[in-house]
Amino acid sequence: MPAGIRVLEAYESTVKIKHLTRLRAQITLEYDRGVPEQAERTITELFSGGPVLVKKRTKSGGEAELDLTPMIFGLSMRKASAQELELTVLVSAQNPSCNPQLLVNAIERYLPEQKPDFARIKRLEIYDEQGNPFR
């Protein structure tokens, strides 16, 4: 197994991949000089407002512009430390899929003054069409 990857749990599932619709992930934004004063407010406003257009690679190898807003089903935020802002998001897992990295890309594009020096993303759970955790 590659360095830095740990298996927390393993199990067989009867749920088909095509039925997985939501992904809950934790995005940690790290700021060397501390979390900017207005970061929580402006990031919340960005994702709760109008369209948030980002570029996404297509299956054919090209790029397409896509609006993240309809693919975000939940977002909460907390200041984890003086240098870290932690977002917990619930996003579309497929059709269309929303990689949590796209939210970081949007912050960098629309809020350059809130751009983190580093971002970590941890997938927490995947849910099926009924909202049940994938098992």
What pLDDT shows up at residue 80?
96
Domain boundaries, the chain: 19-128
Q: How far is CA 75 from the centre of its chain?
A: 9
Torsion-angle region of residue 61: left (phi > 0), alpha (psi -120 to 50) or beta? left
Print burial letters for 10-33: b (CB count within 10 Å at least 16), e (below 16): eeeeeeeeeebbbbbbebbbebee
Q: What is the pLDDT of residues 33-55, one digit of tens each?
A: 999 999 999 999 999 988 999 98
Q: How far is CA 119 from the centre of its chain?
A: 11
Distance CA 45, CA 89 (A): 14
Q: What is the CATH number of domain 19-128?
A: 3.30.70
Q: Which residues of the chain have pLDDT under 50?
A: none
Where do we find the tokens 């407002």? 49
